[in-house]
A = this chain, B = another copy of it.
Amino acid sequence: MPEPRTYLLADIARHINGEQLGDGNPEIRGIATLRHAGPHDLSFLTNSRYRPELAATRAAAVLLANEDRDATSRARILCSDPYLAYAQVVALLHPAPVPEPGTHPSAVVDPEAIIGSGTQLGAFCHVGKGVVIGRNVIVAPGCIIHANVHIGDQSLLHGNVTIYAGVRIGHRAIIHAGAVLGSDGFGMAREGEGWRKIPQIGGVLIGDDVEIGANTTIDRGALDDTIIEDGVKLDNQIQIAHNVHIGAHSAFAGCVGVAGSARIGRRCTIGGGSVVLGHLEIADDVHIGAAAVVTKSIREPGQYAGLYPLQDKAVWARNAALLRNLDKLERRVRQLEAGATGAGKGKSC
């Protein structure tokens, strides 16, 4: 992490379009939580449960929502969305790394590859025939980029990423270490008691402004392409199978698995460890909780959940045994109901 720059509070207020209030115009060198901020840090209140820490913080100034105008008298910036403003300030103080243009002498680059100006290729990178890499891209050491891959401008590939032939990635992508894009989909036909592999000849199309987490894998399509639209954010350890289509600005937390040909809408979120089964559709603006399994298409936006509640192990064992026999419990209730009706009848005579 490079050293952060220094800014006057007023400059920061201008940058995030906020209102500066309180005493002075302190010099800001960093950003920190209320608890850990020092005398040259800007801090922030984005969640009311941290309000008690506001009085004790040593921060030079604080970022607050407009409605918290009077929550403190110290130097502060008011804005409509302090969490977004916090994101903007972190980016201001800690700008993204700038490429050091050039190709490391150890990299192996096919002479027919096209590398844009301002782009940095690290040690031990392999760039195949027909690859096109845009301008101001950073490719960290150890990345393997096979033939005919396209990577857009200002993208950032971290270490040891592998990209199979023909994958296309838009501008401003961030791809974390160990990610694999374009591996074969899991396609095979039964043949005798075994399996015959179906060659996976589709591609992977990734839009602009997509972030892909560490050790995440995205398979190429069987015939058509696997598609990740603009602005999609995928956390670490995610598996995207062949011919999945993810709509723009959807975000999936770590360890999610999406099976083949699932089609997920725009602005969806999926919680960590969830699974989406194959060949189903999820509408726009659907929010799936953690560790859930989507077994049917979801046509309506909204919040969905499905996980077994955690319990003391002995209680769980008792309840799980009853769950295994829920049909029998229901039958007992039905018999009681029949008996109750019978009793009612009895009473009526």
Which of B124, B294, B311 sits near A124, CB closer than 8 Å?
A: B124
- A295 and B272 in contact (CB under 8 A), knowing A259-B253, A326-B319, A343-B343? no
Task: Kindly identify which residue among B187, B236, B273 contacts A275, using a CB–CB cutoff of 8 Å.
Answer: B273
User: Do A162 and B144 have beta carbons less than 8 Å apart?
Assistant: no
Among A20-28, A59-67, A82-90, the stretch that binds chain B is A82-90
A152 within 8 A of B: no
Cross-chain contact A144 with B239 (CB below 8 angstroms): no
Confirm or deny: A305 has a beta carbon within 8 angstroms of a beta carbon on chain B. yes
Contact B333 A323 (CB under 8 A): no
How long is the Cα–Cα vector from A197 to B180 in the complex, in angstroms? Answer: 22
Report the bound CA distance from A43 to B10 in whole Å.
65
- Select which of B224, B237, B295 is within 8 A of A217 by beta carbon: B237
List of B residues within 8 angstroms of A196 by Cβ: 84, 87-88, 91
Q: Is A11 an interface residue (CB 8 A)?
A: no
**B contact residues around A267 at 8 Å (CB):** 193
A176-B183, A186-B254, A259-B290 are known contacts. Are A195 and B233 too (CB-CB below 8 A)?
yes
Q: Is the CB of B223 within 8 A of A239?
A: no
| Known contacts A259-B254, A310-B292; A184 and B190 CB within 8 A of each other | no
Write the chain B residue with the least CB distance to A294. Answer: B310
Q: Are A323 and B326 interface neighbours, CB within 8 A? A: yes
Contact of A211 with B by CB under 8 A: yes
Complex interface bits, A116-142 against B, C-beta within 8 A gives 1, otherwise 0: 000000111010000000000000111
Chain B residue nearest to A304 in the complex (CB): B310
Asked whether any CB of chain B lies closer than 8 Å to the CB of A32, the reply is: yes
CB A337 to nearest CB in B, in angstroms, measures 7
Known interface pairs A124-B142, A310-B295, A313-B289; A184-B195 also in contact (CB < 8 Å): no
Given known pairs A183-B213, A224-B36, A257-B254, the reply for A295 and B307 (CB within 8 Å) is yes
Residues of B close to A106: CB separation below 8 A: 106, 108
Complex Cα gap A325–B316 (Å):
9
A214–B336 Cα distance when bound, in Å, is 55
CB atoms of A166 and B1 under 8 A apart:
yes
Q: Most chain-B Cβ atoms within 10 A of its Cβ — which of A272, A296, A304? A: A272
Question: Bound complex: CA of A293 vs CA of B325, how far in Å?
Answer: 17
By a CB distance below 8 angstroms, the chain B residues around A197 are 87, 91, 174, 211
The one of B81, B203, B337 in contact with A189, judged by C-beta atoms closer than 8 angstroms, is B81
- The smallest beta-carbon distance between A70 and chain B, in angstroms, is 24
- A340 an interface residue at 8 Å Cβ cutoff? yes
A291 proximal to B (CB < 8 A): yes
Q: Does A178 contact B (CB under 8 A)?
A: yes
A275 to B327, CA, bound (A): 25
- In the assembled complex, the Cα of A324 lies from the Cα of B209 at a distance in Å of 39
- Contact yes or no, B319 A323, CB < 8 A: yes
B contact residues around A183 at 8 Å (CB): 158, 176-177, 213-214, 236
Query: Of B213, B290, B293, which one neighbours A186 at CB under 8 angstroms?
Result: B213
- What 6 A-B pairs come out closest when comparing CB atoms? A144-B159, A162-B177, A306-B310, A183-B214, A303-B313, A159-B162
Given A254-B257, A257-B273, A306-B310, 8 additional A-B pairs, CB 8 A: A108-B123, A186-B253, A186-B254, A193-B266, A215-B215, A215-B217, A306-B309, A333-B333
